[in-house]
Amino acid sequence: MAAMAERIDTLEAQLGAARAEAQAATTAAGAATASAAAATAASKADEDTTKIAFKGAPEVTGKGGWTFKPRGRLQFDTGFIDAPDSTLRPEGFGSEVRRARLGVQGDMPGGFGYKFEVDFAGNEVALTDAILTYERGPATVTVGQHNNFQGLEELTSSLHSSFIERAAFTDAFGFERRLGLSVQYAKGPFLAQAGVFSDNVDALSNKNRGADGRIVFMPKAGNTQFHVGGSVHYADLEALSTVRYRQRPLVHFTSQRFIDTNILQAESETGYGLEAAIMSGRLHAAAEQFWQHLDRPGPLSDPTFSGGYAEVGYFLTPGDTRGYKGGVFDRVKPKNAVGKGGMGAVQLNLRYDWLDLVDAGILGGTQNGYQVGLNWMPSDYTRLMLNYGRMQYDNAVYPAAGGDRSYGVDAVGMRAQIDF
């Protein structure tokens, strides 16, 4: 009996231990289940805060203000130029990949943003935009390689321009992206931009430095958008620097420039610009004038060159209008796009484009360009363009028969474009 009692006590002790272990295992399993549920809920919450929208390409919006979007564009140009045979200039058919860009852009928590893009056209790799931004209220600070503030035509993206090339003065006067720091303030109908810049990253390192500023007043009355602005540019050039102002006849795929100042010694350049535009329904009109003054060393003369344009455009398709945002022309969004029961947007444009490179004894030539363009936008992100221009030159670089330097050159350009 004593042995049996001892054995019962031992079994009861073992049973109690087993019950304790079972209770601990149950508790641990419950904790694990709760943890797994919490993890699942957290994962579900993350999934709920990650959004993917399509804006030409996927744009991912994540938790905390992160966004990421790939971007790019392809522009294929072709056409021909026709110059007087006696100038002995190469002419006829030409074509090129005008732009082939890939990049990314997005936002980061705290009001920061970024944009990075490279261009592969011409079998070369060139950095276009490479910026970091910080936005706080109506103010935006930008650091990196980006556009200066030299007018409406220059700041409007090549994706949204009226013609396949910008007005002649923008290229002739060397407007381009430069490495620098700028501030923009936009509130209501007022926009102010200013920055200090060095040079394009492909030209560094040098001691060139400059400053640019622009002010825009852009009120809207009903469906009519107005735009009035002005800009100023100053560049202090490195010792022994030279500049050269010249321009092609409308299209970019030719290397011929019929007006050209040739190389000029320079210590600094100062520019002033005025701009105006109006958009009302199908109709838009815009005009700019820019003066570029060159300060040359010693007794050399200091010329002031100028250029500008005046244009008018009209949509042949009802309900379409030219886009405008933030002080520049923006994307056209067809009311009835192809694939949605319509034919897209069709726009007719007329432009007078002038450039004067004659002053202070420098005979770089003058251009009076008469241009017409027809644009078809099947969708928000596609565009086909057909341009014709008659450029009338005086004091042209290349003489025609009998030494005549006043003659006309015809150019036809076509572009197929897509972006995302």
Tens-digit pLDDT profile for residues 312-364:
999 999 999 999 999 999 999 999 999 898 999 999 999 999 999 999 999 99
Across the chain, mean pLDDT equals 92
pLDDT digits (tens, 9 = 90+) for 226-241: 999 999 999 999 999 9
pLDDT exceeds cutoff 60 at 214:
yes
pLDDT class for 31, splitting at 50, 70, 90?
low
**What Å distances lie between residue 262 and 90, 171, 288, 397, CA to CA?**
20, 15, 25, 9
What is the per-residue pLDDT across 184-195, written as a single tens digit (0 to 9) for each? Answer: 999 999 999 999
**255-269: pLDDT as tens digits:** 999 999 999 999 999
In this prediction, residue 38 carries a pLDDT of 54
What are the angstrom distances between the C-alpha of 101 and each of 65, 128, 361?
A: 26, 9, 41
pLDDT tens column, 273-294: 999 999 999 999 999 999 999 9
Please report the pLDDT score of residue 6 as a whole number: 66
Q: Which fold has domain 47-419?
A: Porin (2.40.160)
CA distance 403 to 174: 30
Domain positions in the chain are 47-419
- In this predicted model, which residue has the larger pLDDT, 60 or 3? 60
Query: Which is higher by pLDDT, 42 or 60?
Result: 60
Task: Kindly state the average pLDDT of the residues 177-186.
Answer: 98
pTM of the model: 0.87
Question: Looking at residue 30, what is its pLDDT?
Answer: 58
Closest among 389, 402, 385 to 81, alpha carbons compared: 389
Q: What is the C-alpha to C-alpha distance for residues 72 and 348, in angstroms, rounded to an integer?
A: 26
pLDDT exceeds 60 at position 387 = yes
- Measured in whole angstroms, how far is the alpha carbon of residue 109 from the centre of its chain? 24
Q: How high is the pLDDT of residue 36?
A: 54
- 36 or 193: whose pLDDT is higher? 193
